[in-house]
């Protein structure tokens, strides 16, 4: 028998969370109800939309005013409609800490329609994970402070501002993508293992060819001793930063100088701060003879033409999306799934990227009603990152891990994002053995379009 409506019944709400499981061609839908007497004995009713792309969950009886709808990460089969409420199973929270009664948490599996694009094979799962590549830029694109809007690039003449220094006479900025992180390794390997000349080749021809090859190696950038350096008038782009020549930057000042003088152990890499709001926006990079601006701490305009004087639109990306791109790049390059993430301190996070290409949707406040691309990440705190990265002789690390060092403010944002997403998940999905479960939103070019 249902409880009568009252003050407690008025506070009843539903929370829905759906995750796409492409390997088994199913969607798992979680339905969470608050642990209050008002919902004792009440079983939620799940209704599939006509398009099979969304579900509505409601409560019967005196709580029939309580309802919630979300879009699913993929279209499900029409046959799912007949078995939805029959297969709705009550779930319990694993582990000793019972956050909610088992009768108030439900989950159901729904079969995905075989024709849905979500099941299309993806040979290159990492093909669109990096935000802000050279293809997204134009000669008129500028970089400014995310906090206060102060511009960091010297204007190049298209706004009526006189040209300065090496930018005189330029028609705009040149944007170039940097190669992947293992580019230097591959080039060194090729340089040391290039084919030997044929025996019948003349010695003079071989000598000439070798000299020309060495010249090309230096000019084209694949010489064994070559390295990436900042170029005046050009913005070099990698997964997480923009590399610029110091002469091309304005409104930036070097930070943490006092800390460097008083603490000799601090890294020689200085921060770059906005002169107006003092926000940290990048770091000095002596090895590249330039300055690196963090993508997570700046905004870019989307004006496509230097002659377009219409209303500008400025775009930003959350720090977690930038870090997700870094993790995906390491997965692609190193074939690794476990990472020690830290900010130069003794403690850090141990991450296990369980699913790098997840689609989910939920009814939490602040989230879009559409399905979101994300990574499912298992994480736990570690008090000694060195023990995992460089174990003592005779004590090999039980895990094969890669290292990712982040600026302190990016690390803090990542940590907050993982913990926040863990609390966003249904109680039954927040733990996996000794791991906490979290979601990191990732960039998708198709989603952005």
- The per-residue DSSP string of 222-257 comes to -STT------TTEEEE-SSEEEE-GGGB-SEEE--H
Q: Which residue has the tokens 């079983």?
A: 43
What whole-number distance in Å separates Cα of residue 439 and Cα of residue 422? 7
**pLDDT for 311:** 65
Read off the DSSP letter of residue 312: -
Q: How far is CA 445 from CA 297, 347, 436, in A?
A: 20, 34, 29
User: Strand 338-342 to strand 143-145: parallel, antiparallel, or no bridges (unpaired)?
Assistant: unpaired
Read off the DSSP letter of residue 265: T
Instruction: List phi, psi (to 5°) of 383.
Output: -85, -10
Could you tell me if 324 and 164 are in contact, meaning their C-beta atoms sit under 8 angstroms apart?
Answer: no
Three-state SS at 449: coil
**Looking at the whole model, is its pTM more than 0.85?**
no
User: Strand 402-405 to strand 338-342: parallel, antiparallel, or no bridges (unpaired)?
Assistant: parallel
Instruction: List phi, psi (to 5°) of 5.
Output: -70, 150
Give the 3-state secondary structure percentages of the chain, helix then strand then coil, rounded to 5.
Answer: 25, 30, 45
Q: How far is CA 77 from CA 25, 86, 212, in A?
A: 11, 16, 63
Q: Which residue has the tokens 């060092």?
A: 405
What whole-number distance in Å separates Cα of residue 262 and Cα of residue 123? 52
Which of left, alpha, beta for 335 (phi over 0: left; psi -120 to 50: alpha)? left
**pLDDT for 129:** 87
User: Strand 174-177 to strand 234-237: parallel, antiparallel, or no bridges (unpaired)?
Assistant: parallel
Q: Output the six-digit token pair for 285.
A: 């990079």
**pLDDT for 173:** 86
What whole-number distance in Å separates Cα of residue 33 and Cα of residue 48? 19
**pLDDT for 377:** 97
| Side-chain-facing half-sphere of 279: CA atoms under 13 Å | 18
Q: What sign does the CA torsion over 333, 337, 338, 340 have? A: positive
- Sequence-ordered list of residues with C-beta below 8 angstroms from that of 326, at least 6 positions apart, any chain: 239, 240, 404
Bridge partners (DSSP) of residue 30 are 17, 107
Residue ranges of the chain with per-residue pLDDT less than 70? 1-11, 85-103, 121-127, 156-171, 180-226, 257-269, 302-311, 366-369, 394-399, 446-449
According to DSSP H, which parts of 111-221 are helical? Answer: 183-192, 203-220
H/E segment holding residue 77: none
Could you tell me if 311 and 359 are in contact, meaning their C-beta atoms sit under 8 angstroms apart?
Answer: no
Three-state SS at 48: strand
**pLDDT for 396:** 61
What whole-number distance in Å separates Cα of residue 184 and Cα of residue 227? 8
What whole-number distance in Å separates Cα of residue 190 and Cα of residue 220? 14
Neighbours of 92 (CB within 10 A): 13
Q: Output the six-digit token pair for 199.
A: 């025996």
Q: Please name each of the domains of the chain with its CATH number.
A: 7-119 (2.60.40.790), 134-178+228-314 (2.170.150), 319-448 (no CATH)
- Sequence-ordered list of residues with C-beta below 8 angstroms from that of 82, at least 6 positions apart, any chain: none
Closest CA to 354 of 61, 17, 28, 21: 21
Q: Output the six-digit token pair for 322.
A: 């930038």
**pLDDT for 172:** 77
């Amino acid at each position: 028998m249902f409880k009568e409506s009252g003050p407690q019944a008025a506070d009843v709400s539903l929370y829905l969370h759906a995750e796409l499981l492409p390997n088994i061609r199913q969607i798992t839908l979680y339905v969470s109800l608050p642990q209050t007497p008002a919902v004792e004995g009440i079983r939620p009713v799940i209704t599939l939309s006509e398009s099979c792309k969304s579900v509505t969950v409601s409560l019967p009886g005196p709580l029939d005013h309580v309802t919630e709808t979300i879009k699913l990460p993929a279209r499900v089969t029409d046959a799912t409609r007949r078995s939805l409420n029959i297969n709705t199973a009550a779930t319990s929270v694993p582990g000793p800490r019972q956050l909610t009664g088992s009768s108030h948490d439900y989950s159901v599996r729904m079969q995905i329609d075989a024709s849905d694009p979500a099941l299309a094979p993806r040979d290159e799962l990492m093909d669109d994970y990096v935000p802000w590549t050279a293809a997204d830029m134009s000669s008129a694109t500028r970089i400014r402070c995310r906090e206060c809007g102060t511009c960091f690039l010297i204007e190049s003449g298209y706004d009526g501002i006189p040209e300065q220094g090496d930018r005189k006479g330029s028609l705009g900025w040149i944007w170039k993508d940097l190669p992947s992180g293992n580019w230097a390794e591959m080039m060194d390997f090729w340089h040391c293992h290039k084919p030997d000349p044929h025996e019948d080749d003349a010695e003079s021809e071989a000598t000439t060819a070798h000299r020309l090859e060495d010249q090309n190696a230096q000019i084209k950038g694949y010489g064994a001793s070559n390295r990436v350096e900042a170029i005046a008038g050009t913005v070099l782009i990698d997964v997480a930063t923009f590399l610029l020549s110091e002469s091309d930057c304005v409104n930036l000042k070097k930070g943490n100088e006092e800390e460097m003088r008083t603490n000799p152990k601090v890294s020689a890499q200085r921060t770059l701060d906005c002169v107006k709001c003092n926000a940290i926006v990048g770091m000095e990079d002596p090895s590249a003879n330039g300055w690196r601006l963090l993508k997570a701490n700046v905004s870019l305009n989307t004006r496509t033409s230097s002659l377009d004087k219409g209303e500008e639109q400025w775009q930003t990306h959350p720090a977690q999306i930038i870090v997700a791109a870094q993790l995906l790049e390491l997965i692609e390059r190193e074939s690794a799934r476990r990472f020690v993430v830290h900010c130069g301190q003794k403690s850090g996070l141990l991450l296990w990227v369980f699913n790098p290409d997840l689609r989910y949707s939920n009814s939490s406040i602040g989230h879009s009603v559409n399905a979101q691309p994300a990574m499912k990440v298992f994480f736990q705190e570690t008090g000694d990152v060195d023990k995992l990265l460089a174990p003592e002789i005779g004590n090999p690390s039980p895990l094969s891990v890669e290292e990712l060092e982040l600026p302190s403010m990016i690390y803090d944002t990542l940590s907050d994002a993982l913990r926040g997403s863990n609390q966003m998940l249904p109680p039954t999905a927040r733990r996996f053995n000794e791991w906490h479960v979290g979601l990191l939103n990732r960039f998708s070019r198709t989603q952005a379009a």
